[in-house]
Structure 1
Amino acid sequence: MRLLERKPDGSLVFRESTDTDVPAYAILSHTWLANNNEEVSFQDVEAGTGKSKAGWRKIQFCADKAATDSLRYFWIDACCIDKKNSTELSKAINSMFRWYQKAARCYVYLTDVSTYDGKDAPQQCLFHWEATFRKSRWFTRGWTLQELLAPTLVDFFSLEGERLGSKLSLEVIIHDITGIPRAALRGEPLDGFSSDERMSWASYRHTKEEEDQVYSLLGIFDVSMPLIYGEGKEKAYKRLQEEIEKIYRGDNSDQFAVGFDLFAIPEAAQFVARENELAEMHRLLHGHKFRSVVVLHGLGGIGKTQLAIKYTTRHKEKYTGVFWLNANNEDSLKLGFRDIAQHVLEDQKGKPSTSTLANVDLDGNLDQVVTAVKTWLNLQRNTRWLMIYDNYDNPRTPDNLDRSAVDIRGFLPRADHGSIIITTRSAQVSQGHYIHVRKLANIHEGLEILSNTSKRENIEKDRDAIALVKELDGLPLALSAAGAYLEHVTTNFSDYLRLYKTSWLKLQRTSPQLSSYEDRSLHTTWQITFDRIEQQNAASAKLLKLWSYFDRRDVWFELIRHINSADDEWIQKLTKDELNFNEAVALLCRFGLVDADRSPQHQFGSGGAWQGWP
């Protein structure tokens, strides 16, 4: 890496550095002048010339800002790369994302944004610059995408050198201009976003050379490849895709690649970003040599399936095959395995790896089909698949006497490779890393779901909409059900809230079905959960019904014992000792209906959305 240093006399000198001895430096982000000859080049700096060029102003600006930040060295693409040396140019372009990433500070110099209107002093009219900032050419150039995302500290400056703000302070505006998720702007690893999503960030950006529209994305995808100017954009893009495939799927991906099929995956149109959970799933599932299993556990309707769908669609290109199974019962699992077999045989017809599948009668014994699919998944080099077992809510356990309970172990591949996601309401699933999917904590996410499903816009400041979201307590299914009802009626948010409180059951039974939740309504979701609880512990079910009259208030052992009545034999048994009470409440905790409060009173708190149900 070649850095610039400004001497006391104003002259510029280069400092050559290897990858291991690079000092702290600042870096400039800018748009090139219409006349490239007016940019100060490597040869100009070498010869001690270039001060008369228009581009000298950028160098002066960067040097001044670096000095202000106590940085001795700085880097500018226009003059720190010898572009006449093709080898050096290729190495620089392949390294540029990393160079921006490691910079102590990045200064974005916007020559088309002014804070001076010719009348007032710059500091007096800063409010004038936002409109021109939004239209800045900098947001339309291909190379500036990585210059926005790679550095940690990015500051924006006007033509006059006035600081407009940082990437953090201007995050809302930048997100609005670019459509780039805020998590990416904040430094979330880019491999946590799908290839399609990252490609979309550059879709409206342009470069002078058509191939540079592709080469400017190398760092965004963390790939390296030779530069071949003259090959055209399409060939360059094809090479980029091949490199991405090698990184994510491996060199043997063609032998096991199965096209991504959306048919088996439920709709997720109302999903709102759970970026923390998605990042945790990505950390646990991707890039490991051994099998990775993630269990998404939470209350029915909390968004487990939606979260699994979002992860799947975001990261599908990292897997050679993505297979979705309904684990509600054994029959649905077996039919799902038959669908997988058909899909693999269609996409991998004639491949040696499918010989076991090809010899099985798909219309015959489904147990044999399950075994054949598992054999294919177990193949030594078939390591990049993702299996999703959705709705595994009734696991077979020693204390679960339900004949329809499922032992998922018989449907899991035995190989120590691949990735698995399990969604469940039960806390008795023993496989994998647990991620507890909780209610939406951010009221704006609840408003987003309500707005999307009701088709009613600009509700962010609607007091009645906010009150409804608070009443529904961050439960995505409850919010979606409310929105689905409101889409087809003229009822306002205030009236719906009144109906919700006074006629809960009738309202839920008359609400439209939600395609994104298959055949589940809020009422059926609670009923299924209640039935499972009642099967396992009748006292837990009765306590849940009693709790519904407490209007979201906490419950503890002494409180229940205080209301002990001779007419309520079940309460007498429940409060005979604290162990009975704890056993009953623990089951409700496992189903995600209540949470333990570690206060001195040993209270248990409930979510609000289910309380109208019993």
Structure 2
Amino acid sequence: MPLIYGEGKAKAVQRLREEINKASKGVQLEDFAVTFSLTGVPEIEDFVARKQELAQMREQLRSNGSRRTVVVNGFGGVGKTQLAIAYAKLYKDSYSAVFWMNIKDEDSLKQSFVRAAQQILRDHPSAPRVSSIDTKDLDEVIASVKAWLSLPNNTRWLLIYDNYDNPKLPSNSDHAAVDVHEFLPEAHQGFIIITTRSTEVKIGHDIRVRKMEDVLDSIEILSNASNRKDLIHDTDALSLVQVLDGLPLALATAGAYLDQTTTSFAEYLDLYKESWARLQKASPQLGSYEDRTLHSTWQLSFDHIQKQNEVSAKFLCLWGYFDNQDIWLELLQHDDVDNPSWLNQITKDRISFDSTVRVLSNYGLVEVHSSSDEQIESKGYSIHSCVHQWIVHILNHETDNDLARLAITHVASHVPGSKSEKWWLIQRRLLQHASRSSFAVLKKSITMDELEVAYHNLGLLYSDQGKLNEAEEMYQRALQGKEKLLGPNHISTLDTVNNLGNLYSDQDRLKEAEEMYQRALKGYKKALGPNHTSTLDTVNNLGNLYSDQGELKEAEKMYHRALQEKEQALGPDHTLTLDTVHNLANLYSDQGKLKKAEEMYQRALEGKEKALGPDHTSTLDTVHNLANLYSDQDKLKEAEEMYQRALRGFKKALGPDHTSTLGTINNLGLLYSNQNKLKEAEEMYQRALRGYEKVLGPNHTSTLDTVNHLGLLYSDQDKLEEAEKMYQRALPGFKKALGPDHTSTLNIVHNLGNLYSDRGELKEAEKMYQQALKGYEKALGPDHTSTLNTVHNLGLLYKDRGELKEAEEMYQRALKGYEKALGPDHNSTLDTVNNLGNLYSDQGKLKEAEEMYQWAL
């Protein structure tokens, strides 16, 4: 019976329901079966993983006599549609009918109802009321399909509402928003899946779809899409997967491009980093994602955000100048009269900030940043790296100097000094934001004036975090700006000069470092006086420099001057005073004055623990150096305890790849080597070497120190060929970086002497020893332990050659020096005593030999 158009719509629908109910009496369950079809639905051939989400959906979409609804939400490109398709295909036999509804807008949804009606009619030409509808009247089609789905025995159908991304909600003022409730069957039966980007759709059980966590799943998507196999063994493919960070759309896009080109994974990764927008626009269309691509899929979410909250949209654009990970409220709070009003609106308090971010998180773009660091008090938010790339290259396709300036200023304003509470934690959080915000500056694509303070602070951050090239770039920009704006002798200018001196010292550019320190010292004296803390800090830094150069007498002079003035001006327990105490301890240790060194270290440690706490990095520096001292004194148990304490603290405070952490790992290797735990020692050295090469490069002196230690280890294991390779790698590096007369260079020369001696190449060994001895005497003095070690080894060499008189002279000189520097009971002293006993025995001087043996025993 045709619908009577003259009567009211409500009455017509009521008549329809009555006739359907009348016709449905006696109908069996199988009479509602509709052939499964996903014609027109975009799908991929090989769906990967999502077992947990599928299991959750299956658990929720089981019959219990009433309607069951699952809402699948997540940001664009994460695979919500493909998950719904996979579920429908996997469990189609559990449902009498499956209907796919595209609810991206009302027109698309109405056309979906037409397709559903046609599916019903193909299997049930006489279906109540559906068979007589006019498909041109969309409202009639919708009412009829809804009524058919509401029949009393028709309870096993599955409706999938896909792309419900513009829901009608109190917070959404868009007139085109759709209310899904108007398109649901009235009878409370059946099963429903809704996919949406919005987290505000609260209709049924919520399932959040996130990025792929298992790298093997990402590899499988990339492999399927690119038709390239065995990617798990391809390091470039693994690097690409890591960058795409488990986003199915990004992986499928990359795979489709690679499938149709000869581009390698490494080349694609370079294109991704350098020409993101062009690469995405040139990528093939993905049938499995309809008309959406990586460069357009998030535009829909952004358009909705912009309509809902303009401030949230501006904040998203600003985020492109920060890192994608860990944006927190305090980072954006900065007292600056030039801040735009919209930013002040966001950051005026916690509620305003959270409200702004909530708009972004409602569309799945932002998540709470997951951090394992329990010390973080203010939690942050993060965006997926691919979304961030879209913000950088599409939303911000042209660099906005105002936003870039905001980002640099805010990051730099929060850089703490090393005496601040939790400075290491804050610096670690800031580092990636600094790298991103200063990217345009380092690439020289923009020029910004009047950011001298910001550049100085970023230099401090990079320097503290071991990124010395970036630090130099920032300090040079700061110095150039300050000299122009404030003059060359302004205190702020001198601060940057002094910090450049510190940087050059860390880079072992000692001549340039001294020039900076002398300039800063001269300026501070004139501007602040000889006893000001800034002046004394520079004096202390000069002491460090002279110590590094082996000019120990000059270094001690500087340290004593700085210590005396600091004790008078600041007090004996001030942290700046304790820094100089610590440095004096280092100097005494280098001079072989180990008892005095220990006294200084203990004083520094007690003071720092009290002033800064036991886990502050300055405290840990002293702990580490005490471990070095105990190791030199052969107090190996105490040394290991100190090293392990320092290592735990540095890893927690600075991370596993910081130079302080790596230095402790390296020295643990040295300790294990001294304990003859050679396997453990090699593990430590290799671990330190990998870290140094990654952080500082293959030719940095810290890297070369570890190479030298590996050489020593191989030599102890009689792997002389491997040892020589290590020494020959380290020697030219030290010569180039520090010069032929630096103690680090001389150490390699001395070690090569040992190696040649072990191989019986005594002429070559003597040549190395004499070169090392001459250098040590000049750099460290005749009584330094390094000098004495070389003297002792020359004694061994002369004895092996049968030159007993010369050997005795060397042993006696070494013994006299060791007794004075280390005491009569030190291992080095006793080794020399024992060797003298052997020599006297070989000479037939048995009485003298017995005296030596009794002493050694």
Report the TM-score, using the length of structure 2 for normalisation: 0.41
Aligned to 1:355: 128
Distance in structure 1 (CA, Å) of the matches to 2:297 and 2:102: 16
Aligned to 1:215: none
Q: Does 1:611 align with 2:388?
A: yes
Shift of the 330–389 alpha-carbon distance from structure 1 to 2, 3 Å rule, reads same
Shift of the 472–287 alpha-carbon distance from structure 1 to 2, 3 Å rule, reads same
Alpha-carbon distance, 1:303 to partner: 0.5
Distance in structure 2 (CA, Å) of the matches to 1:337 and 1:419: 16
Alpha-carbon distance, 1:502 to partner: 1.3
SS at match of 2:320: helix
Alpha-carbon distance, 1:537 to partner: 1.3
Aligned to 1:321: 97
Aligned to 1:473: 245
Distance in structure 1 (CA, Å) of the matches to 2:311 and 2:265: 37
Q: Does 1:593 align with 2:365?
A: yes
Distance in structure 1 (CA, Å) of the matches to 2:335 and 2:104: 39
Aligned to 1:271: 47
CA contact (8 A) 2:133 2:140 kept: yes
> What amino acid sits opposite 1:358 in the alignment?
S
Alpha-carbon distance, 1:563 to partner: 7.7
1:223-262 map, 5 Å: 252-262=28-38
Aligned to 1:462: 234
CA contact (8 A) 1:564 1:572 kept: no
CA contact (8 A) 1:270 1:480 kept: no
1:294-309 map, 5 Å: 294-309=70-85
CA contact (8 A) 1:272 1:445 kept: yes
Distance in structure 1 (CA, Å) of the matches to 2:336 and 2:54: 46
Aligned to 1:484: 256
Aligned to 1:449: 221
Distance in structure 2 (CA, Å) of the matches to 1:267 and 1:565: 53
Alpha-carbon distance, 1:278 to partner: 0.4
1:360-371 map, 5 Å: 360-363=133-136, 365-371=137-143
Distance in structure 1 (CA, Å) of the matches to 2:45 and 2:323: 32
Shift of the 498–565 alpha-carbon distance from structure 1 to 2, 3 Å rule, reads farther
Q: RCO (CA 8 Å, sep 6+): is it higher in 1 or 2?
A: 1
Alpha-carbon distance, 1:567 to partner: 4.7
Residue of 191, 209, 217 corresponding to 1:437: 209
CA contact (8 A) 1:264 1:324 kept: no
Residue of 113, 117, 121 corresponding to 1:337: 113
Distance in structure 1 (CA, Å) of the matches to 2:105 and 2:331: 39
Aligned to 2:655: none
Alpha-carbon distance, 1:548 to partner: 2.1
Distance in structure 1 (CA, Å) of the matches to 2:199 and 2:367: 13
Deviations 1:124-175 (A, max 9, x none): xxxxxxxxxxxxxxxxxxxxxxxxxxxxxxxxxxxxxxxxxxxxxxxxxxxx
Residue of 194, 200, 206 corresponding to 1:428: 200
> What amino acid sits opposite 1:613 in the alignment?
W
**Which runs of no fewer than 5 residues in structure 1 stay unpaired?**
1-250
SS at match of 1:579: helix
Distance in structure 2 (CA, Å) of the matches to 1:292 and 1:553: 37
Alpha-carbon distance, 1:437 to partner: 0.4
Aligned to 1:7: none
Give the structure with the larger strand fraction.
Answer: 1
Q: Does 1:290 align with 2:66?
A: yes
> What amino acid sits opposite 1:294 in the alignment?
V
Report the TM-score, using the length of structure 1 for normalisation: 0.57
> What amino acid sits opposite 1:464 in the alignment?
D
Distance in structure 1 (CA, Å) of the matches to 2:105 and 2:305: 18
Aligned to 2:165: 393
Alpha-carbon distance, 1:288 to partner: 2.3
Deviations 1:475-500 (A, max 9, x none): 10011111111111111111111111
CA contact (8 A) 1:268 1:309 kept: no
Shift of the 468–384 alpha-carbon distance from structure 1 to 2, 3 Å rule, reads same
Distance in structure 2 (CA, Å) of the matches to 1:457 and 1:546: 40
SS at match of 2:280: helix
Aligned to 1:406: 178
SS at match of 2:231: coil
Alpha-carbon distance, 1:605 to partner: 2.3
CA contact (8 A) 1:549 1:611 kept: no
Q: Does 1:383 align with 2:155?
A: yes
> What amino acid sits opposite 1:609 in the alignment?
C
Alpha-carbon distance, 1:564 to partner: 5.3
**Percent sequence identity over aligned pairs:** 48
Cα RMSD for the two superposed structures: 1.5
Shifted more, 567-576 versus 438-447: the winner is 567-576
Deviations 1:78-107 (A, max 9, x none): xxxxxxxxxxxxxxxxxxxxxxxxxxxxxx
1:157-196 map, 5 Å: none
Distance in structure 2 (CA, Å) of the matches to 1:281 and 1:515: 25
Shift of the 270–588 alpha-carbon distance from structure 1 to 2, 3 Å rule, reads farther
SS at match of 2:207: strand
> What amino acid sits opposite 1:257 in the alignment?
A
Distance in structure 1 (CA, Å) of the matches to 2:358 and 2:200: 12
Aligned to 2:87: 311
Alpha-carbon distance, 1:358 to partner: 1.8
> What amino acid sits opposite 2:256 in the alignment?
A
Shift of the 275–564 alpha-carbon distance from structure 1 to 2, 3 Å rule, reads farther
> What amino acid sits opposite 2:379 in the alignment?
H
Residue of 523, 532, 543 corresponding to 2:315: 543
Deviations 1:425-451 (A, max 9, x none): 011212111000010000110010001
Q: Does 1:579 align with 2:579?
A: no
CA contact (8 A) 2:326 2:382 kept: yes
> What amino acid sits opposite 1:605 in the alignment?
S
Alpha-carbon distance, 1:565 to partner: 5.7
CA contact (8 A) 1:328 1:390 kept: yes
Deviations 1:106-137 (A, max 9, x none): xxxxxxxxxxxxxxxxxxxxxxxxxxxxxxxx
Distance in structure 1 (CA, Å) of the matches to 2:284 and 2:166: 27
Aligned to 2:609: none
Aligned to 1:70: none
SS at match of 2:390: coil
SS at match of 2:367: strand
SS at match of 1:375: helix
SS at match of 1:500: helix
Distance in structure 2 (CA, Å) of the matches to 1:334 and 1:570: 40
Alpha-carbon distance, 1:252 to partner: 3.1
SS at match of 1:444: helix
Distance in structure 1 (CA, Å) of the matches to 2:271 and 2:71: 36
**Number of residue pairs matched by the alignment:** 360
Alpha-carbon distance, 1:424 to partner: 0.1
Alpha-carbon distance, 1:322 to partner: 0.4
Shift of the 564–325 alpha-carbon distance from structure 1 to 2, 3 Å rule, reads farther
Residue of 372, 379, 396 corresponding to 1:602: 379
SS at match of 2:387: coil
CA contact (8 A) 1:393 1:425 kept: yes
Distance in structure 1 (CA, Å) of the matches to 2:336 and 2:359: 21
Shift of the 488–288 alpha-carbon distance from structure 1 to 2, 3 Å rule, reads same
Shift of the 424–564 alpha-carbon distance from structure 1 to 2, 3 Å rule, reads farther
Alpha-carbon distance, 1:552 to partner: 2.7
Alpha-carbon distance, 1:606 to partner: 2.4
